[in-house]
Amino acid sequence: MAVVAAPRPLLGAVLLLFVSAAWGSAFPLMKDLIHRLPVEDLLAERYLLAALTLFLIKPGCLRGLSRDTWLNGALLGVMFGVGQVGQAMALGSLPSAVSGFAVGCSVVITPILSLVLFKDPVRRRVWAGVALAVAGMAVFTLVRGVEDRGISMLALGVTLTAAALYSGHTLLLGRLSERPTGFPAYALTVIQLFTIGVLTGGFAVRDGISVPVGPSDWTILLHLSVISCALGFLARSHAQAHLPAVPSQILMSTQPLWVAAIAVIWFHEQMGWSMVVGGLLMGGATLLALPSRSEARGKERRRLLFVARRAAKVLESHRIKREDPLRLQRGVAPYIAKSACADSASCPWQTRSLKGGAEPSLERLIERATHIVRAKNLPGPGCCQSVTLLGRCLCDLMEESEQVHTTRLQRWFRS
């Protein structure tokens, strides 16, 4: 059984903020690269290069994995990959601000799915963080202005479905990270990245695959693959072992804040009031998403209880169960009446009593009495004056038993 590490919420928060910053840095770079490379081709090459990078760093990560690990990794990749394909298909029919806000709605969908599917209650403080995150995304996307383009309801529905798949991906990853039997984060990351690359590659291969031309484009692609995808997904897998799914989704929803910060620092865009207000809302959501110490202790306590119950079941299955060699029958012992035998002289109760019945063995009593009398060295004729049994002398019974040994002994006990 694997050793369960204690959750460290602060470490998980730092890792998820790195994930949000890495994914946020990809947006302005992709915005520049998609003018020279189709979106579907960029997605396929990005995820396949990320998976290949992690595999080359640790080639033995896929050895000896269980069947459940392969299935879970493939399922995670399918959920995220289908979401990426759907988002890319709908992007041409939606303004970029609307598409970004619809994808960000996963921060609302995640607690709803957690409550409906797993009956996990969400604290009011976390709901407040969700509300602040949605308000911050609205300020960064919708308030800053929407392009003068029509909105396709079908494309909007596809984008919201992609957001629901992202929420399901977060919930499933959180459930897998809570398993005390072990959480192979590295192997799961490689498997799901390969799966996402295959799905997006199947979508991109329809019109042929295009590759970057110049060194600058290859540099951007390597950044998107190694920093944003490989390290981002790996850090997310490790981070969700320390934080629940809903706070994790809130922290990852701060991507617009990082996009705005990169745009101001690197591309020298002017900072407006929307960036300030949106940044304050996102900062408040981040603070509310961090779990308290009591919540972290409660999660650790639930993990330990789960491990204790599992260990008890394993020990119970390995315990040697000894069978009773006697195999006694239940119920009252039967009593055989004298009238049950046609020939009463040969009936067993004349010589041996029935175990548990009312008649003891007369031969056994006489034998024991013989040992008692001989041990006391009492004289033969005088013993009859002191020891009697229902009017008969015990010495006479002893002599009679020694001279005649037959199955038909006189019975001195009433039946």
Q: What is the DSSP string of 274-324?
A: HHHHHHHHHHHHHHHHS--HHHHHHHHHHHHHHHHHHHHHHHHHHS--PPP
Pick from 46-50, 346-350, 384-388, 397-401: least confident: 384-388
Burial of 241 (0-12, 13-18, 19+ CB in 10 A): buried
Q: With 90 as the cut, is the pLDDT of residue 378 above it?
A: no
d(Cα 69, Cα 77) in Å, to the nearest integer? 12
**Alpha-carbon Rg of the chain, whole angstroms?**
42
Question: How far, CA to CA in Å, does 305 sit from each of 242, 309, 311?
Answer: 17, 6, 10
pLDDT tens-digit map of 199-236: 999 888 888 888 898 899 999 999 999 999 999 999 99
Question: In angstroms, rounded to a whole number, what is the distance separating the alpha carbons of residues 299 and 13?
Answer: 16
Q: Please return the burial class of 374, using the count of CB atoms within 10 Å of its CB with bins 0-12, 13-18 and 19+.
A: exposed
Question: What is the number of other CB atoms lying within 10 angstroms of the CB of residue 67?
Answer: 7
What residues contact residue 346 under an 8 Å CB cut-off, 6+ apart?
407
Q: What is the pLDDT of residues 314-357, one digit of tens each?
A: 777 776 665 655 555 555 555 445 455 555 555 554 444 444 44
Q: Looking at the predicted structure, is the pLDDT value of residue 142 above 90?
A: no
CB atoms within 10 A of CB 220: 20
Number of H helices, E strands in the chain: 16, 2
Please calculate the CA angle 71-73-77 and round it to the nearest 5 degrees.
Answer: 115
What's residue 143's pLDDT?
Answer: 76
Q: What is the pTM of this model?
A: 0.69
Q: Please, which residues have CB within 8 angstroms of residue 372's CB and are 6 or more apart in sequence?
A: none
